[in-house]
Structure 1
Amino acid sequence: MIYIIRDQKVMLDSDLATLYEVETRYLNKAVKRNINRFPKDFMFQLTQVEFKSLMFQFGTSKEGRGGRRKLPSVFTENGIAMLSGVLNSERAINVNISIMRTFTKMRKILLSDESLSDKIAKLESDSNEMKKIFRIVFEKINILEAKTPVLPKKRKRIGLKKKFVVICSF
């Protein structure tokens, strides 16, 4: 899963470990042995607030139930590319290639002719325009309702004054 955290597209260490078919602790140990290859723009650790937000959004394990005991690390696109050198296996290389292709596809989608953010902004402005139009319509309806005379409760009825019961017999 690719998440957007701190305005960066990142992947969790546990998700990467699953893709590489290794345990998360082994992936993190390999990173710690080569920590000089992972500056803060390649990898960073989530804060407690960010982690709790992820747990809430994606239903990850609760504390004290065999889940994580440490805050997860997340890797940016550059950090994931660096992982292929740290985890030097055929599987790691193949997984990295597919991850890089995914990041490239995401970038192409976001930078298409009319970018996704532009489309969202346009929809929001259209929505605001519709809200303004509805507000004007409702104001006009309220004005018309205020001008409409209210009929008195005790008024002279027009038409039939008695109810008739029709009995049919065959």
Structure 2
Amino acid sequence: MAKNKLNLIVPDEVLINKIYFLRNQKVMLDRDLAELYGVLPRRLREQVKRNINNFPNHFMFQLSDTEVEIMISQKAMPSKQYLGGALPYVFTEHGVLMLATVLRSEQAILVSIKIIEIFVRLREMLYDNSELRNAIQKLERKTENNIKNIEIVFKYIDELLEKKEMLEGRERIGYKLSKK
């Protein structure tokens, strides 16, 4: 029952589109999370401030003006007005999980579970791509070695052909048979 309710709440594609990569971390904006959890953004921030000890820097951080400008230029946000005048907080995977414990609503818990599952899937996809990239790099190294070996073989063949040409032009010494 809870799983079906969760699927009705938010489709995976919507959640994936709300995950950004900032400061080498996958994060979600406080405004997006508030919308998903069914609370006002200022209420979400209030709860976070009341429980600030639950949110160390690797769970949550506030964006700088520069980062906001970059997100606006990359169309991640429509404008600064979208943020409601304040610099947004962003939450990492761990921060999203902690938010569910702070907000304590059924919707927050269900959405957090789904978000965590998506973070895990993204991590698995990244890991799978890393393995594929490593396999391709191994093949490239083998190919480079094979090319070098083939070049050496051709070099030896060329040297042998040159020696043969040099030998054909010289007069043979030793016992000679008459041609009849």
The superposition leaves residues 87-121 of structure 1 with CA deviations (integer Å, 9 ceiling, x where unpaired) of 10100010011001001101111111x428838x9
RMSD between aligned alpha carbons?
2.2
The corresponding residue for 2:43 is 26
Deviations 1:33-80 (A, max 9, x none): 1001000000000010001111121263434x5752110000001111
Q: Is the 8 A contact 2:31 2:83 kept in 1?
A: no
Question: Does 1:91 find its partner at 2:107?
Answer: yes
The equivalent of 2:94 in structure 1 is 78
Identity %: 45
Q: Could you tell me which amino acid in structure 1 is paired with residue 130 of structure 2? A: S
Structure 1 runs (4+) greater than 3 angstroms displaced = none
Greater helix content = 2
- The alignment partner of 2:84 has SS state of coil
TM-score where L is the length of structure 1: 0.64
Contact 1:13 1:24 in 2 (8 A): yes
Higher relative contact order (CA 8 A, sep 6+): 2
Consecutive unaligned residues of structure 2, counting only runs of 5 or more, are 1-17, 141-180
Which whole-Å CA distance do the structure 1 matches of 2:30 and 2:132 have between them? 28
Q: Distance in 1 between matches of 2:105 and 2:55?
A: 19
Q: For structure 1, which runs of at least 5 residues remain unmatched after alignment? A: 126-170
> TM-score, normalized by length of structure 2?
0.61
